């Protein structure tokens, strides 16, 4: 699973600016410590979806920060699927054709807020000549 770090910059009004060193376009604001993690998670998901929608390669996490967010298995698989599609130059329409499904179904495979079936993501990786591997640590 992918773990992205974030940094906190306190503001004079009691809020914190949340930024993601690996994803410089992303930012969020928390009202205090009580909503810091949820605000950081929402901001991270928003910037990741922005990368996916723009068909841009998503930088994998490397930086350290004040806190971190670990994506679940399904969002991690979606980020990796998006990156593989970008790397290979495969557009959503082409993946839909290969899978024998409609375009909106591929849209859902790449939507971080949609509860896609892992089997569907595995099938997409298979069509890209790749294999999704999940391990227990």
User: How confident is residue 109, by pLDDT bands cut at 50, 70 and 90?
Assistant: very high
Global pTM? Answer: 0.92
Q: What pLDDT, on a 0 to 100 scale, did the predictor assign at position 13?
A: 87
pLDDT interval class at 122 (50, 70, 90):
very high
* Segments making up each domain of the chain, as ranges: 3-70, 73-127
Question: Domain 3-70 is in which class?
Answer: alpha beta
Lowest mean pLDDT among 1-5, 31-35, 116-120, 127-131: 31-35
Q: What is the pLDDT of residues 8-42, one digit of tens each?
A: 999 888 899 999 999 999 999 998 777 889 999 99
Q: Are 43 and 3 in contact (CB under 8 A)?
A: no
Query: DSSP for 30-97?
Result: ESSGGGHHHHHHHHHHHHHHHHHHTT-PPPPP----SEEEE--HHHHHHHHHHHHHHHHT--HHHHHH
Structure confidence at residue 32 (pLDDT) = 74
Q: Is the pLDDT of residue 46 over 80?
A: yes
């Amino acid at each position: 699973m992918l773990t992205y770090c974030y940094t906190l910059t306190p503001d004079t009004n009691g809020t914190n600016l949340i930024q993601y060193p690996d994803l410089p376009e992303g930012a969020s604001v928390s009202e205090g410590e009580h909503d810091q993690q949820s605000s950081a998670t929402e901001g991270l998901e928003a910037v990741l979806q922005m990368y996916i929608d723009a068909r841009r390669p998503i930088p994998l996490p490397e930086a350290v920060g004040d806190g971190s967010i670990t994506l679940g298995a399904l969002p991690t698989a979606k980020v990796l699927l998006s990156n593989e599609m970008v790397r290979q130059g495969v557009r959503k329409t082409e993946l839909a054709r290969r899978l024998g499904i409609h375009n909106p179904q591929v849209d859902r495979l790449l939507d971080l807020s949609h509860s896609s079936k892992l089997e569907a993501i595995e099938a997409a990786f298979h069509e890209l000549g790749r294999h999704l591997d999940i391990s227990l640590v």
